[in-house]
Amino acid sequence: MLAWIKERLPFDGNQLRELTNEPVPNHLKRWWFALGGTPAYLFVVQIATGILLAFYYKPSPETAYESVRYITETASFGWLIRGVHKWGATLMIAAVILHQMRVYFTGAYRKPREINWMVGMCLLICTLMLGFTGYCLVYEQLSYWGAAVGANIAGGVPLVGGFIREMMLGGEGYNANTLPRFYVLHAAVLPTLLTLLVIIHIGIIRLQGVTEYRFADQLEEEAAGKKQYFNFFPDHLLSELILGLGLMVVLSVLATVLPATLGPPADPLTTPEVIKPEWFFYVTFRWLKLFSGTVAILSTGFIAFIMFFWPFIDARIRRHTRFSEASVWIGIVGVFLIIGLTVWEAVAAH
């Protein structure tokens, strides 16, 4: 059988092993250095559970809410699939943020990895947009008003705001075209974009290799002449698989103990007393509430711009000033600000 296949597909297992078996630096045995694999794994979980949800989900204002109710209450294991998808999104966003923090605080974005940092920023935006569009699909009160408020915020962007808002909603206001539009973005456009970006991201990592660090124990090993690398296959791959199994357990427990719920259905005529986005937008939402209209939107855009081009800004600071580790202090302030604003929004009634 094997010979029959080999005759038709002259596939060389050794070549594939050589191609994938890049030696991995020892510091990647520390899990926080290998956090990039976690969002990649969770993305696969999201695709698998998303396909199952798509078998039942019906993206129109008349049917969306009922189809989510059907998935949650009637379809076999629908509650589990929906719960895993919802918690998978939360964990994926958390993993992307933690991975970005690791990259930031270890300076792994510095020359020659500036481009990969920018690809990473696109991955972050794409992941957040997946979370936002997914939240809007349920068509419960909060997701309806979340979408409406999100579109209004986008509408406030100078010059292009009106265009973005209309593109998002498929018209002047929320209408019958809006939900299918969010669905196409959530289930087709953004996952395809994310897949392409991950391929580019990993491709660049393969070209450049990961940043090499030497910790005290590794320096000792080096002095003792021990090897500084381990095999991608099977050692690193097996660690990632074990991590994946652990995540599967965590996801199943979360989906069972804290299942995905369903709020009241969307009512376009009644604005809810409290409109809250998902937790990962709390920080932006609070920021936008702190400042008025255009100032809030322009300052948010400015922060995103700084984050995007941070490797170049950091290089200038290091070259022209004495504050070579300014990034660490800026990062610490940034993290406290993000946590502070998120907690503030979480506990605030309005």
Interface positions with ligand HEM (CB under 6 A): 33-37, 39-40, 96, 99-100, 103, 108-109, 113, 116-117, 120-121, 123-124, 127, 198, 201, 205, 210-211
Question: Taking a C-beta distance cutoff of 8 angstroms, is the pair 194, 126 a contact?
Answer: yes
List C-alpha distances in Å: 202 to 40, 84, 141, 283: 10, 26, 39, 29
Question: Would you say 37 or 61 has its CB closer to ligand HEM?
Answer: 37
Q: Least distance from C-beta 73 to ligand HEM, angstroms?
A: 32
CB 309 → ligand HEM: shortest distance, Å? 11
Name which of 203 and 264 has its Cβ closer to ligand HEM: 203
Minimum Å distance from CB 34 to ligand HEM?
4
Complex with ligand HEM: residue 107 or 180, whichever CB lies closer = 107
Q: Cβ 284 to ligand HEM, closest distance in Å?
A: 16
Q: Which amino acid is at 288?
A: L
Residue 316 beta carbon to ligand HEM: minimum distance, rounded to whole angstroms: 18
Percentage helix, strand, coil, to 5, in the chain? 70, 0, 25
Residue among 54, 65, 255 at smallest CA distance from 141? 65
- Of 21 and 60, the one with the shorter C-beta distance to ligand HEM is 21
d(CA 191, CA 127): 9
Report how far residue 235's alpha carbon sits from residue 21's, in angstroms, rounded to the nearest whole number: 10
Strand partners, 25: 229
**In 156-292, which residue ranges form alpha helices assigned H by DSSP?**
161-169, 178-184, 190-208, 216-223, 237-257, 282-290
Q: Least distance from C-beta 56 to ligand HEM, angstroms? A: 26
Quote the least distance from Cβ 120 to ligand HEM, whole Å: 2
CB of 138 to ligand HEM, least distance (A): 23
> Which of residues 52 and 190 has its CB atom nearest to ligand HEM in the complex?
190
Residue with tokens 């002047």, as numbered in its chain: 172
Residues belonging to the chain: 350
Decide if 110 contacts 210 (C-beta within 8 A): no
Q: Measuring CA to CA, which residue among 26, 289, 41 is closest to residue 153?
A: 289
Which CB atom, from 63 or from 106, has the smaller least distance to ligand HEM?
Answer: 106
């209004």: which residue's tokens?
Answer: 152
Compare residues 42 and 148 and give the one whose CB is closer to ligand HEM: 42
Separation of alpha carbons 126 and 46, rounded Å: 14
Name the one residue in this structure whose structure tokens are 């969306």: 64
Taking the C-alpha atoms of residue 8 and residue 229, their distance in angstroms, rounded to an integer, is 37
Q: Give the integer Cα–Cα distance in Å for 36 and 25.
A: 15
In the block, tokens 């949800």 appear at 53
Quick one: 113 or 181, whose CB is closer to ligand HEM?
Answer: 113
In single-letter form, the type of residue at position 309 comes to F
Residue 250 backbone class (left: φ over 0; alpha: ψ -120 to 50; beta: rest): alpha
Residue whose CB is less far from ligand HEM, 165 or 236: 236
Shortest reach from residue 91's CB to ligand HEM, in Å: 12
